[in-house]
Amino acid sequence: MLRVFLTAAVAVVIAATAWVFWDRARGPTATPIAGFSAPFVFGRFAVPPDNPLTQEAFALGRHLFYDPSLSGNNQVSCATCHMQALAFTDGLAKSPALSGGELEFSSMSLINLLWGQERFFWDGRATSLEAQALMPIQHPDEMDQDLDALITELQASRDYRRMFRKAYGEVSAENVARALSTFMRMLISSDSKYDRFLRGEVRLTAQEEHGRKLFMAHPDTKVSLRGGNCIDCHSQFLTSGFRDALDGFSNNGLDSDDDLPDGLMAVTGNPAHKGFFKVPTLRNIAVTAPYMHDGRFETLEEVMDHYNDGIVVSDTLSPLILEADNAPEAGQGTVGLRMTPDEVQSIIAFLNTLTDEGFLTNTQFSNPFEGDG
Amino acid sequence: MKFKLLAQSVLFGAGLLMVGLTPAQSQTREESQGMVLLRGLPTLDTDHSIAIVELDPESDQFGELLSEVEQPDIQHPLHHLYYSPNGRLYSTGLDPSCSLAEIGLSRDSSGTPVIEGFTCLDTQGQIVGEDIMWATSNGQEYMFVTFMGGTGGDDGGSVGVFDTQTNEVVKIIEARKSQVGEGEPYIMYPHGISAFDDRMVVTSTIHPDMTTGVGNVLTIIDLNTLEPIQNIVVENEKPLDFPSSPVEVLFARPDMHADIEPAILANTMFGFETWKIPYDADSKTFGEAEVIYSGVANETAVPLEFYGTEDELFISHGLPGVVKRYELAALPELVSSGPDIVADPGAHHMIFFTSASGRDLIAVQNNLLNLGNAADDDPTDVDFIADLNAHTITIHDLETGERIAEVNFKERYNKGVDNVEGLFGSGFVHHH
């Protein structure tokens, strides 16, 4: 009897050991994202062939995104400045810098990054999401982490070794970038009231519909067309900047030539790009205050005041903004849309339809280290 | 007519102007992909289907069906595709059980467009759906659909007015010739549709059975009241000894080009002519109808579709299978802007796009209605129409008209091709 028991025990140990070795030796598992479906109207998107969307990469990326061990002091995670409830912004004009003071730009929301402009950061300094992902980690005022030290830390974690193995094979900085990119690519917001309107599921209120029409129209007094001119920079469905070339960057009249920051020019070296910043998505805009690249406007009303009567002319100001005027005959000596208060409120009402509560509370995007994540 | 807006605001998705593409971007370009409605050919035992086909001759996938959903349970196929201003895809249909449908589109995790299926909509008995356009009546936007069979009968025909959100019928605009008084406006076998300000125009084409009756008028509808208010006869020569059968119509208007004086243009399928009816927007009156293009004089027949680009108007002629091109700014006069694009018999619908290398192209679908080809023993009762089915989409250089390539759907897929539309049509405004 004892011999039988021992034989069985040895067999179990051998089998378990073999499974462990086999599991560690086998290549990554690429499980397609279950039930993935994106709105057709959002348009084409491309995922890098060497980083397809998989469940394993998403799970790893989600853990990394929320893990403060990605920072040098083990206190700052990506989520510190990108909070889900705030559409992955932080509610601050500029995030605090590790060395004191504040960072140069406002924290950008992370929404629908599969579409729109393929340069990242306000000034477009990253040409892929994978390139973008490692920059804040290494930035001395953001997460201040040495990549070699980070990889050593991650390799010391059995959980991470397992997740990296399943997703990509090995623990490496490249695969950190890939996993974070996959997580960010999956942050799809497509169930706002506007989305449901587009699918024919709900109606907008009269004020929201008025705002939608104004949003989509470039004013033309010759044919009595009033417009908010928003769509000239924020595309119809995604409400983000345009994808092709550098169309997704613009100077929207915030500063004079004397005060104009470099913006995209710092990346391209082209003086025509001075003061150009990335046109952000307006999805969930109601929860991402303060606004603009430097967070100078506290409310959507302030934003609309800027476009309505506060445009500052500079050499690189967008001509689409410069010429958009609903009442050019008014001759007020200022540049702006000159819409009525009702029209302004209608556009804000439409912007509020872009809030996607399901996205802001989706547990798949939440902190996996909390609750049952 | 399908008229491409110039406005930058609507060029976002279709990406008609592709510049500076990186190799990665080139792999994901979609404007060369066509949404097509394919008809199963009875002698070849194939089913009708909706499909996405690659039409860029420079692509390794040229001519391939990238996605396809078949319709084995529907006797007659879907007919014409239209995108709503909100990006929803609709199709009219020839089968009484599915005269109007909404087509579901999505994308998988690689970004590949996927046809999910289609839902037949309740038309409240209106059959043989033809053209769709979205227009406003008293400040409210509706989807207007012409039903050539209307609610049935020898002089049927209706314009269905649908709620743009729920797809429910709001009103059926119907006025049978046999029921209205002498000289009162009627609607019969409507097919083409177009509108300007508060005036809509539909054509009176032909009874769906192709034998019971043929029309020869345009019907003007007051968009304020949604009632027909006037008929305009467009008939002159009768080369086939049939009534003229006006088919597609375009309300040329200044928002297409600032220089355009408003006027209706109408093609007569059996008169082989293009007509012009001037419109005075101030008095809301139409001038005298006149022929501005004679197919008999120019040796062309069966003029069909109006399509527009930024600066040109294109009109397809089923025989001999050519697309003629005109200066957009000169409308409503037809001033040639270049030599004919020589396609195939049945030249009909078309799309415009750029190749991967940036070459401007036009793809022409060459089937009148694919009723069959007598030479192949496909069923048809109208031999004249049977000659108008090449079963091809031909691809041409847009500037020179040079024929670059073709996809023969009958040879490759044992099917005919009834319609083509750009894969992502939100960059277009459709006005038949």
Task: Output the domain CATH number for residue A339.
Answer: 1.10.760.10
Peptide bond into B332 cis (omega under 30): yes
Q: Which two tokens stand for residue B194?
A: 């177009």
Residue type, A320: L
Domain CATH for B139: 2.130.10.10
Q: Of A138, A166, A188, which residue is a domain's last?
A: A188
Can you give the pLDDT at residue B371?
57
Query: pLDDT class for B155, splitting at 50, 70, 90?
Result: very high
Shortest CA distance from B85: residue in chain A? A198
Same domain, A139 and A167: yes
* A10 belongs to a structural domain: no
Q: Which domain holds residue A37?
A: 29-188
pLDDT digits (tens, 9 = 90+) for B68-117: 999 988 888 999 999 998 989 999 999 999 999 999 998 888 888 889 99
Same domain, A202 and A350: yes
Q: Which residues pair with B173 in a beta bridge?
A: B159
Same domain, A345 and A292: yes
DSSP letter, residue B168: -
Residues 6+ apart with CB under 8 A from B208: B94, B127, B128, B148, B149, B189
Q: Token match 């040639």: residue?
A: B336
Mean of the pLDDT values across residues A218-242? Answer: 91
- Rounded to the nearest 10°, the torsion over CA A225, B250, A231, A352 is 80
Q: Do B13 and A53 touch (CB under 8 A)?
A: no
Same domain, A250 and A317: yes
Find residues 339-368 of chain B whose CB sits inside 8 Å of chain A: none
* A24 belongs to a structural domain: no
Choose the closest CB to A46 out of B7, B28, B105.
B28
Which chain B residues are Cβ-neighbours of A40 within 8 angstroms? Answer: 87, 105-107, 113, 424
The SS3 call for residue A351 is helix
Find residues 380-399 of chain B whose CB sits inside 8 Å of chain A: none
Which chain A residues are Cβ-neighbours of B17 within 8 angstroms? Answer: 244
B7–chain A Cβ distance below 8 A for any pair: yes
* A68 belongs to a structural domain: yes
* A8 belongs to a structural domain: no
Residues 6+ apart with CB under 8 A from B339: B401
Shortest CA distance from A223: residue in chain B? B255
Give how far the C-alpha of residue A316 lies from the chain's centroid of Cα atoms, to the nearest Å. Answer: 26
B111–chain A Cβ distance below 8 A for any pair: yes
* A22 belongs to a structural domain: no
* A373 belongs to a structural domain: no
Q: Do A200 and B167 touch (CB under 8 A)?
A: yes
Can you give the pLDDT at residue B377?
62
d(CA B397, CA B325): 13
- Given a contact cutoff of 8 angstroms between Cβ atoms, the answer to whether B247 and B238 are in contact is no
Q: Which domain holds residue B93?
A: 2-430
Same domain, A39 and A84: yes
Residue B1 reports pLDDT greater than 60: no
Q: Of A188, A213, A228, which residue is a domain's last?
A: A188
Strands B2-4 and B301-308 come out as: parallel
Can you give the pLDDT at residue B431?
46
Residue B418 backbone dihedrals phi, psi, to 5 degrees: -95, -25
d(CA B293, CA B326): 12
Query: pLDDT class for A285, splitting at 50, 70, 90?
Result: very high
- Mean of all residue pLDDT scores within chain B: 88
Same domain, A182 and A245: no
Same domain, A67 and A130: yes
Can you list the positions of beta strands (E) in B355-388? 360-367
- Given a contact cutoff of 8 angstroms between Cβ atoms, the answer to whether B126 and B160 are in contact is yes
Residues 6+ apart with CB under 8 A from A19: none
d(CA A182, CA A128): 12
Q: How many domains does chain B have?
A: 1
Q: Which residues pair with B250 in a beta bridge?
A: B265
pLDDT digits (tens, 9 = 90+) for A51-84: 999 999 999 999 999 999 999 999 999 999 999 9
- Given a contact cutoff of 8 angstroms between Cβ atoms, the answer to whether B168 and B178 are in contact is no
Which of B5, B10, B11, B12 has the most A C-beta neighbours within 10 Å, making it the best mutation to test the interface with A?
Answer: B12
Q: How many domains does chain A have?
A: 2
Can you give the pLDDT at residue A22?
63
Bigger pLDDT: A181 or B5?
A: A181
A323–chain B Cβ distance below 8 A for any pair: no
d(CA A60, CA A180): 8
Bigger pLDDT: A23 or B210?
A: B210
Q: Of A164, A188, A212, which residue is a domain's last?
A: A188
Same domain, A58 and A201: no
Can you give the pLDDT at residue B173?
98
Shortest CA distance from B14: residue in chain A? A43
Residues 6+ apart with CB under 8 A from B107: A37, A38, A39, A40, A42, A45, B113, B114
Query: pLDDT class for A26, splitting at 50, 70, 90?
Result: low
- Given a contact cutoff of 8 angstroms between Cβ atoms, the answer to whether A126 and A328 are in contact is no
Q: Do B111 and A46 touch (CB under 8 A)?
A: yes
Residue type, A73: N
Query: pLDDT class for B24, splitting at 50, 70, 90?
Result: very low
Shortest CA distance from B87: residue in chain A? A41
Bigger pLDDT: B108 or B146?
A: B146
Query: pLDDT class for B19, splitting at 50, 70, 90?
Result: very low
Peptide bond into B379 cis (omega under 30): no
Look at phi and psi of residue A2 and say left if phi exceeds 0, alpha if psi is from -120 to 50, else beta. Answer: alpha
Can you give the pLDDT at residue B72?
85
Query: pLDDT class for B206, splitting at 50, 70, 90?
Result: very high
Bigger pLDDT: A3 or B217?
A: B217
- Mean of all residue pLDDT scores within chain A: 93
Same domain, A293 and A207: yes
Q: Do A242 and B12 touch (CB under 8 A)?
A: yes
Can you give the pLDDT at residue B18?
26
Can you give the pLDDT at residue B405?
98
Same domain, A209 and A350: yes
Residues 6+ apart with CB under 8 A from B334: B274, B292, B293, B313, B315, B324, B326
* A103 belongs to a structural domain: yes
Closest CA–CA distance from residue A10 to any residue of chain B (Å): 45
Closest CA–CA distance from residue A119 to any residue of chain B (Å): 13
Mean of the pLDDT values across residues A144-168? Answer: 97
Can you list the positions of beta strands (E) in chain A? 38-39, 249-250, 277-278
% of chain A at pLDDT higher than 70: 95
Same domain, A221 and A284: yes
Residue A3 reports pLDDT greater than 90: no
Q: Which two tokens stand for residue A326?
A: 């609903």
d(CA B97, CA B93): 9
Look at phi and psi of residue B23 and say left if phi exceeds 0, alpha if psi is from -120 to 50, else beta. Answer: alpha
Same domain, A135 and A262: no
Residue B426 reports pLDDT greater than 60: no
Residue B348 backbone dihedrals phi, psi, to 5 degrees: -145, -95
Query: pLDDT class for B25, splitting at 50, 70, 90?
Result: very low
* A370 belongs to a structural domain: no
% of chain B at pLDDT higher than 70: 87
Q: Do A198 and B108 touch (CB under 8 A)?
A: no
d(CA B288, CA B276): 8
Q: What are the distances in angstroms from CA A321 to CA A308, A317, A337? A: 10, 7, 8
Query: pLDDT class for A267, splitting at 50, 70, 90?
Result: very high
Q: Which two tokens stand for residue A136?
A: 């804040």
Mean of the pLDDT values across residues A260-288? Answer: 97
d(CA A232, CA B275): 37
Can you give the pLDDT at residue B75?
87
